[in-house]
Every structure is written in structure tokens, then in C-alpha cells.
Structure 1
Amino acid sequence: MPGTDNGYATPERGRDETADERADRRWGELIQEVRVAQTGVQILFGFLLTVVFTPRYTQLEQTEQTIYIVTVVLGAAATGALIGPVSFHRIVAGRRIKPAAVLWAARLTVIGLILLLATMTAALLLILRVATDDGYVPWLVACVLVWYLLCWFALPAWIRHRHSGG
């Protein structure tokens, strides 16, 4: 019964669903979100893996090669974190621990997004350093990084705070 302490949502929580129903809904939402991020990180990571096999790679300065290596490692870590929720779900499926699985999968997803942010920033830095010698490259990368932070974290946090009543 809504409004009671029997596992159903109260009006303050906004939905009339059991803990299992909430976990099922949240899992579905999470998987849809992860699909978008997985596709992007896998395409980026696949592209990064090919760079080392091009003739141009050996002509890069040591700094660019170091940025490339860091970018590939970040991309590998982001891929692992964003694929992690699928593996996590498969391993714990049927164990009646879906609420905990959703919580941990959501944490892996946030870690994956942070690693994807770092991968994209490092890749942008590498590409712009190779494409141009201008001193404005760090400024461009910083502006894009700020944009990512605003879109991915600051705006959602602001809206969450604004609509949570405090």
C-alpha cells in the first residue's frame, strides 16, 4: 500500500513500486545509458589501437607518443568499466541481489564516463598537437574539457540539486 513502510514507494519517493520493481526499472534505464557510452568508447578505442601501426606514428615526438600511450590505456580502462555492468549482471543474475547489482553497475558506469572523459580529452590533445603547432592547443582542449564537465556532470548535478529541494 502506498505511503506505508512495506517496500512500496511513498509519495515523497515519487513511484508506487516495490524494491524489485524499482531495481528492474533502474537496470533497464542503466543499460540504455551504457549502450550509448559503450558504442562511443569502443569506436574511439578501436581507432586508437590502429594509430600505432601507421608509418606516421614513428615520426611523432616522444611527448606525442607518451600522450598516445596514456590515451590508449585510458580508453582500455573506460571500455572495461563501461562493459563491466553487462558482465556484472550476467554473473549475479538469478541471485536475488538486483538492487545491489544496479548500484554497483551504476558506479562502474560513472567511473567509465570519467575515464571516457579523460580518454576523449587526451585524444583531442594528441590530435591537435599533431595537427597544429599553435600555442592555443591547450586552451582549446581546456575549453572542450570544461564543456564536457558542464554537460556530463555540472548540469545534471545542478538540476538534481535544484529539484531535490536542497
Structure 2
Amino acid sequence: MNAERHGRDESQEERADRRWAELLQEVRVAQTGVQVLFGFLLTVAFTPRFATLGDTDRIIYVITVVLGAATTGALIGPVSFHRIVTGRRLKPETVVWVSRLTLAGVVLLLATVVSALLLILRVTLHNAAVPWVVVGLLVWFLLCWFALPGWARMRYGKD
């Protein structure tokens, strides 16, 4: 046996089972955050302060709520996807599709968080620093969520 060999000695089904379990853990973390954020967003329209928002802030709010709903759909989608195809011997295919759905959910989560930050900072700060703070945080999220894993994949990955 080659001492330099990397990876696991597993069948396609075993690999799909392992990847599915890992994916479920990732989705659980993201779902919790999305549910808290979306729940908060839904309550904002019923607060006294909401009536004082200008047209631009109301538009940002509506966009944020729609993004939150889309994010919720994408990150809860893996549950229904699995439930509908379970028992059909489609685990490897399910893992691929649910991985794509989860990545779409993470992209939508990024848009939702940035939009929510824009709204909250506009309402609380009322100054020219807001766009810069939001762009700075967007860059930070892109670095943490996409650039660093992408770099690690290129640097250390084999595919």
C-alpha cells in the first residue's frame, strides 16, 4: 500500500452517507441563524419606529424580508428534498443537489445579512460612513465564507 495515499477507502454509498451527515450539520447551523434573523425581520414592520421610516428604508426593508424568505426556502429545502427522495436509492445525487441548494442558501444569506446591516445602520447612524461599513463587512463575509475556503481548496485540494 502506498504510504502517500490520501483520502478514504469508502464506497460511493458510504461516501454519500458521510457527506450527507456533514451536510446536515452545516445546514442545521445555517438554518438556526436564518430562522432567528427572519423572525426578527418579520416583527420589525409591527414596531412603532417602522412608521417613521422613509421610502428608501422601507424599500430596503422589503428587499431584506424577501431575501430572508428566499434564504429560508433554500436552507430548509434540503429537508423536503431528502424527505421526497428518501428510499429511492438516490443518496449520491441527493447530496449533490442539496449541496447546491445549501450553497445558494449561503449566498442568499450573505445578501440578507448585508441588506439587514444596511437598513439597521442607515436607521441608527444617519451618516456617510454607513455604505463604507457595510462594504467592509461584505468584504469580510466574502473573505470568510468564500475566499478562504476557495484558497484552501486550490492550495490543498486534489480536485
Whether 2:140 is the aligned partner of 1:140: answer no
Whether 2:102 is the aligned partner of 1:90: answer no
Question: In the TM superposition, what are the counterparts of 1:1-166 in structure 2 within 5 Å?
Answer: 11=5, 14-164=7-157
Provide TM-score, normalisation by structure 2.
Answer: 0.95
1:12-40 CA distances to partner (integer Å, 9 max, x unpaired)? 6x110000000000000000000000000
Over the aligned positions, Cα root-mean-square deviation in angstroms equals 1.5
Tell me the amino acid that sits aligned with residue 131 of structure 1: T
1:114-141 CA distances to partner (integer Å, 9 max, x unpaired)? 0000000000000000001110100000
Partners of 2:158 and 2:149 lie apart in 1 by: 15
Partners of 1:33 and 1:164 lie apart in 2 by: 20
Could you say what secondary structure the match of 2:138 adopts?
helix
Please state which structure has a larger fraction of its residues in helix: 2
Could you say what secondary structure the match of 2:26 adopts?
helix
- Segments ≥4 residues shifted beyond 3 Å: none
Structure 1 vs Structure 2: percent identity of aligned residues? 66
Q: Which runs of 5+ in 2 are unaligned?
A: none
Instruction: Give the number of aligned pairs.
Output: 157
1:164, distance to aligned residue in structure 2 (A): 2.3
Partners of 2:60 and 2:100 lie apart in 1 by: 27
Tell me the amino acid that sits aligned with residue 82 of structure 1: L
Partners of 1:47 and 1:132 lie apart in 2 by: 20
Partners of 2:117 and 2:105 lie apart in 1 by: 18
Going from structure 1 to structure 2, the CA distance change for 1:165 and 1:25 (only over 3 Å counts) comes to: closer
Provide TM-score, normalisation by structure 1.
Answer: 0.91
